[in-house]
Amino acid sequence: MLQIKDLHKSYAIGDSSLHVLKGVNLAVNTGEMVAIMGSSGSGKSTLLNIIGMLDEADSGSYVLDGLAIENLTEKKAAVYRNKFLGFIFQSFNLINYKNAIENVALPLYYQGVKRKERLELAKFHLKKVGLEKWSEHLPKELSGGQKQRVAIARALAANPKLLLADEPTGALDTKTSHEIMDFIQHLNDEGKTILMVTHEEDIASMCKRIIRLRDGVIIEDKEVKQVRASQYV
Ligand code: ADP
Ligand code: MG
């Protein structure tokens, strides 16, 4: 699914530069469910953003689904992003003035899917996350857990090969976090590849593999026995 070799990334800060990723090596196969852990500032989001083609590395190689990701134009990057990747964020990133179904349908609009088909697909995915009755509601009328489920439906709408999540439970209480993790585990059971950033051990233990970043390098990468979230919900 993806191969990363000797990835480096620095940020310019005034006259100096901050070396955030210092030679990251990583391969992820189809069907994996991986947690990326590390303390705040260790480079987790930077790595996920590069994997998600939202940012570019300074050096090293990144191959996604057999395609070398480098020197892509913004337009090409957007095409691959829409085709291969779905994103879930801590703060949901829904569009406030669009209702649930319109939020879910939005990525399909960028893919050029016609309006009728967009809304049908969006409805299908909202149903999948148990929110078909909430399709006309605006984000402000939804709970945190419901908002994240809309965001998951949106991430899935275009049937991405890889789902990327940056602290998907970071803004949710424990019970809601476990409900969201239960849902994400079911997606993985169905074969979706998932890469998730978290700094919570209990959330990471619900993945199948845990990678630890410290000071820009991977210090640990191990398979774990997956804790099922369903036992808590
Ligand atoms: P994490 O997600 O593990 O908390 P990040 O990848 O967000 O860490 O950030 C790693 C380091 O890079 C932090 O010190 C952060 O302040 C810095 N950083 C992140 N993004 C930028 C940016 N766009 N410009 C400058 N510094 C940044
Ligand atoms: Mg982060």
What are 172-216's pLDDT values in tens digits? 999 999 999 999 999 999 999 999 999 999 999 999 999 999 999
Residue 82 scores a pLDDT above 90: no
Q: Does the pLDDT value for residue 83 go beyond 90?
A: no
- For 92-120, how does the pLDDT look when each residue is reduced to its tens digit (9 = 90+)? 999 999 999 999 999 899 888 999 999 99
Q: Which ligand is nearest to the CA of 20?
A: 1
Select from 18, 44, 196, 211 the residue to mutate for testing ligand 1; criterion: most ligand atoms less than 8 Å from CB: 18
Q: Name the token pair of 212.
A: 């630890």
Contact, 170 vs 202, CB < 8 A?
no
Q: Cα(127)–Cα(197) distance, rounded to whole angstroms?
A: 26
Token digits of residue 19: 């070396």
Determine if ligand 1 sits within 6 Å of the CB of residue 20: yes
Residue spans of the domains in the chain: they are 31-56+74-231
How large is the average pLDDT for residues 7-26?
96
Indicate yes or no: pTM above 0.75.
Answer: yes
Q: Give the single-character DSSP code of 231.
A: G
pLDDT of residue 93: 95
Instruction: Give me the amino acid identity at 170.
Output: G
CATH architecture of 31-56+74-231: 3-Layer(aba) Sandwich (3.40)
* Ligand 1 pocket check for 24: Cβ under 6 Å: no
Q: Which amino acid is at 6?
A: D
What would the pLDDT profile of 117-152 be if each residue is shown by its tens digit? 999 999 999 999 999 999 999 999 999 999 999 999
